[in-house]
Amino acid sequence: MTTDNIMRGVVIKGSRRVAIQDYAIPVPGVGEVLLEMQASGLCGSDLRAIYRPENPKSEGAEGYRGVIAGHEPCGKIVAIGQNVSPEWKVNDRVVVYHIHGCGSCRECRAGRFISCHSETGREAYGWQRNGGHSDYILTSAADLVRLLEPLSYIDGSVIACGLGTAYAATLRAQISGLDTVLVTGMGPVGLGAALLAQKEGANVYGLEVDPARRQAAEELGIYTLDGASPKVKETIIELTGGYGPSVVIDCSGHPSARLTGLEVAREWARIVFVGEGGSVTFDVSPLVIHKSLTIYGSWVCSISQMESLVENLVKWKLFPEKVVSHVFSVHEAEKAYALFDSGKSGKVIIASEEEAKRWKESK
């Protein structure tokens, strides 16, 4: 695996290329801990912002500084630096909340590191500082969330971005058993949002253009309609008692799915935009003003929401690794990215040999 204090790390080069490089295993400094990586997920955002573009952006929240990729890290503490709270011990299992905030700006003080204003103090793992596609990761102790038993490391990796994002969207819409929810785009994030909304008590439907993803969602108990069907809007209205959904969560990032969501939503519905990129064009008066819709944008989640998600998953016995279809090791990163990019998979994870073996045996 590693020799002579050398670890492997995956760097994304753009134009659908990845490289595996050697690095010295870091030593934790003040306030830092070293994790042995166990699971590190691939995210739709990696594909859109770094893997597919010829020249990934180098600045801003999605600026990529050529670091070790992977913003969904989950692992085990193996070394602890100075001045780290005694609550963290070697062998603790942890999820890394992937946005390190400056800790001093107005947003950080409100607990929203994702919106941190600092140009130099805000760094996301896998974007601006080394991420999880590696054998080890150096983290700030302040960014750790305890992974409770019996959640697995792969569960933790799914939580680290995608499911945390999905959870924040369901909290934003204040979903309850009174709601009928439509999730558009049943990739890993949408599927996660649908499973959480179901646990929160709502009636949930999915909308997806890809047949394999529709089938995967159905197998996990989410009734999913074909987004390409010409009659889909009528079907959604019919399924929701003639009213339309009271909540729509768009996890497709696609203009037509966003528009469908706005069109089928009932009066006073809440709409949450999670899928990134692109645009949507709609007639404001009939669709939004006269229906009194509330439209939210929701970006990742806060670290305290991630802690609450971990606690609730244990309570609900919802193990998010069920959205994972493939697990690879670090040296297979190229294959992992190509498969995820093809859209012919569920969630794809890069894992340690031990965690990959456990996952395969559990299938």
114 binds Zn ion (CB under 5 A): no
Q: From the list ligand NAD, Zn ion, none, which binds 252 (C-beta under 5 to 8 Å, kind-based)?
A: ligand NAD
Long-range contacts of 279-288 (CB under 8 A, 24+ apart): 279/255, 280/255, 281/255, 287/262, 287/263, 288/262
What is the footprint of ligand NAD within residues 286-325 (CB under 6 A)? 298-300
251 binds ligand NAD (CB under 6 A): yes
Residue 41 to residues 101, 282, 336, Cα–Cα distance (Å)? 21, 34, 10
Q: Residue 284 and residue 212: Cα distance in Å, rounded? A: 34
Q: What secondary structure does DSSP assign to 53-73, as a single string?
A: SSS---SSTT---S----S-E
Parallel/antiparallel/unpaired status of strands 180-184 and 247-250: parallel
Comparison of 165 and 240: residue with beta carbon closer to Zn ion: 165
172 binds ligand NAD (CB under 6 A): no
Interface segment toward Zn ion; rule CB under 5 A; list 17-25, 127-135, 158-166, 196-204: 158-166
Composition of the chain by helix, strand, coil, percent to 5: 35, 25, 40
336 binds ligand NAD (CB under 6 A): no
The number of angstroms, rounded, from the C-alpha of 317 to the middle of its chain's C-alpha atoms is: 19
Comparison of 144 and 323: residue with beta carbon closer to ligand NAD: 323
Task: Provide the mask over 92-131, with x wherever binding to ligand NAD is found by CB under 6 A and - wherever it is not.
Answer: ----------------------------------------
171 binds ligand NAD (CB under 6 A): no
| Region for residue 4 given its phi and psi (left: phi exceeds 0; alpha: psi -120 to 50; beta: otherwise) | left
Interface segment toward ligand NAD; rule CB under 6 A; list 21-29, 100-108, 184-192, 240-248: 184-192
Which of 209, 318, 324, 327 is the binder for ligand NAD (CB under 6 A)? 209
Q: Are 184 and 207 in contact (CB under 8 A)?
A: yes
Residues touching ligand NAD, count (CB under 6 A): 34
Interface segment toward ligand NAD; rule CB under 6 A; list 22-30, 43-51, 152-160, 287-295: 43-51
Q: Residue 298 and residue 360: Cα distance in Å, rounded? A: 33
Q: From the list Zn ion, ligand NAD, none, which binds 227 (C-beta under 5 to 8 Å, kind-based)?
A: ligand NAD
Q: Residue 141 and residue 124: Cα distance in Å, rounded? A: 14
Binding site for ligand NAD (CB under 6 A): 43-45, 48, 161-162, 165, 184-190, 207-210, 213, 227, 251-254, 256-257, 274-277, 298-300, 343
